[in-house]
Structure 1
Amino acid sequence: MNRLEGNVAIVTGGAQGIGAAYAHALAAEGARIVIADVLDGTAVAQAIEAEGGQAISVWTDVSDEASTQAMVDAAVERFGRVDILVNNAAIYASLSLKSFEKIDIAEWDKVMAVNVRGPFICARAVVPVMRENGYGRIVNISSGTPFKGTPNLMHYVTSKGAILALTRALAREVGGDGICVNTLAPGLVLSEGVIENADMRDALTAPVLASRAIKRDQMPEDLIAPLIFLSSTDCAFMTGETVVVDGGSVMH
């Protein structure tokens, strides 16, 4: 406990689902939390404060440069610094499964704007603050799908493959500033969004479960320990890496 005491963490997409689980877990380890989302994260922030933590909610469109800068400015104004960025916001559970020929260009562009441009401009906004302090942890959230080439989600799979490359390139550029950049790659998690998307859940759950060495569904709680590791001083000599947490469906 309290491994992140004194740290300030921004969690994009933290208003619900896995992002909210990340926010609660980071707070439980002592971090002060900024929930950045296009959805209202007030309830999550209030729940964290009711548990004795400190948190604020900031409306943030991660695909918009001015919005991401305002997110970082709000964090610094309230808490004085930023130590951790969890690039969690992404379009996934709302997507419908379809062959690549049927993916609308506008939908492709929207996925890329949130899932790829978002982490890029969020990192660009936060790195100067981390650099001033000579310390930072950036945790980019990818997926096990780029390792598999999962069909009928080409835009999502492509975007998450880009995150692997973004992590490696960024790690090279900021390693000398005391900033570690790593990727956490979950498997199919039974999050709120996936449970609500019956078509996706029904189509993917059985084959994914069959591919796992550990034969059970993955829950948000399965990601907490790896997230805390990547957000803390424990990963001080680890950067540019991808940690896959999916029950052994992907082994690399």
Structure 2
Amino acid sequence: MNRMKDKVAIITGAAQGIGATYAKALAAEGAKVVLCDLNTPNETAAAIRAEGGSALALACDVTDGAAVQAMVEAAVAEFGGVQVLVNNAALFATLELKPFEQTSSAEWDKIMAVNVRGSFECAKAVLPVMRKQGYGKIVNIASATAFKGAPMMLAYVASKGAVIAMTRSIAREVGDTGIRCNCLAPGLTMSTNVQANAAWADDIVRNNIASRCLKREAVPEDLIGALLFLASADSDFMSGQTVVVDGGSVTH
């Protein structure tokens, strides 16, 4: 249980759901974790500390470049560096399913700001630290919907397609400095927030499951193995790639 020993990992959107699951899994493997969300993720941090782990909890809006920079500086001050960034913060579970022409320009901009620019701001902020170390892992979180062209959620799907493209470009730019940038693309995962959205129920969930090779609901714990692989030395000769974890709905 020491794959992440002596590593410092930032996880955005870590207050609950999948982000909290990622944070707990990294801490269980020995990482010192820095957790951020719009509201300070104290509950996640407390759970990690209760298991003997090290956690720093911070409030941070990932669309605010200055706030993101301050968060990275706090991580370095507390733990001495940053080896891993998990760009998990995103708008999804609370979004309304609707035809794309019913999406307002303001809603489009908000989704793009959080899901795309937020990941960009965080990657940009950790870059000097990782370059100085000569090592780093940036794990962007996309979505299997980007490979499906899923309907009724155009802004979200477009944002996650942008994250995949951004991953490839970052990987090309930073590889010579020892930094790897890869992407994890989950399918529909029944997190707490997804379960609370009435849109993600009944036929939509059943049809999604029917499209999979492995015909069951996905839960946040299903993503841990791939996340740890991308964050650890196990994937040190891998960059610019997108790993889909959706039970085999998408194959590529």
**2:40 corresponds to which residue?**
40
Give secondary structure in 2 for the equivalent of 1:200: coil
**Correspondence list, 1:194-233, <5 A:** 194-202=194-202, 204-233=204-233
**1:108 corresponds to which residue?**
108
| Contact kept? 1:96, 1:200, Cα under 8 Å | no
Q: Distance in 2 between matches of 1:109 and 1:167?
A: 20
**1:157 corresponds to which residue?**
157
| Contact kept? 1:140, 1:163, Cα under 8 Å | yes
Q: Distance in 2 between matches of 1:203 and 1:35?
A: 35
**1:90 corresponds to which residue?**
90
**Correspondence list, 1:1-252, <5 A:** 1-202=1-202, 204-252=204-252
| Contact kept? 1:140, 1:182, Cα under 8 Å | yes
| Contact kept? 1:145, 1:187, Cα under 8 Å | yes
Letter in 1 for 2:208: V
Letter in 1 for 2:197: N
| Offset at residue 90 of structure 1 (A) | 0.1
Q: Distance in 2 between matches of 1:20 and 1:203?
A: 28
| Offset at residue 203 of structure 1 (A) | 5.0
Q: Distance in 2 between matches of 1:51 and 1:92?
A: 30
Query: CA offsets, 1:112-145, max 9 Å, x none?
Result: 0000000001000001001100010000000000
Q: Distance in 2 between matches of 1:201 and 1:194?
A: 9
Letter in 1 for 2:129: V
Give secondary structure in 1 for the equivalent of 2:223: helix
| Offset at residue 39 of structure 1 (A) | 2.1
Give TM-score scaled by structure 2 length: 0.99
Q: Distance in 1 between matches of 2:203 and 2:215?
A: 17
Give secondary structure in 2 for the equivalent of 1:198: coil
| Offset at residue 202 of structure 1 (A) | 3.3
RMSD: 0.7
Give secondary structure in 2 for the equivalent of 1:21: helix
| Offset at residue 198 of structure 1 (A) | 1.2
Q: Distance in 1 between matches of 2:227 and 2:199?
A: 29
Q: Which runs of 4+ in 1 moved over 6 A?
A: none
Q: Distance in 1 between matches of 2:42 and 2:130?
A: 26
| Contact kept? 1:68, 1:125, Cα under 8 Å | yes
| Offset at residue 101 of structure 1 (A) | 0.6
Q: Distance in 2 between matches of 1:151 and 1:186?
A: 17
| Offset at residue 200 of structure 1 (A) | 2.5
Letter in 1 for 2:105: I
Q: Distance in 1 between matches of 2:126 and 2:228?
A: 19
Q: Distance in 1 between matches of 2:78 and 2:135?
A: 19
Q: How many residues align?
A: 252
Give secondary structure in 2 for the equivalent of 1:118: helix
Percent of aligned pairs with the same amino acid:
59
Letter in 2 for 1:12: T
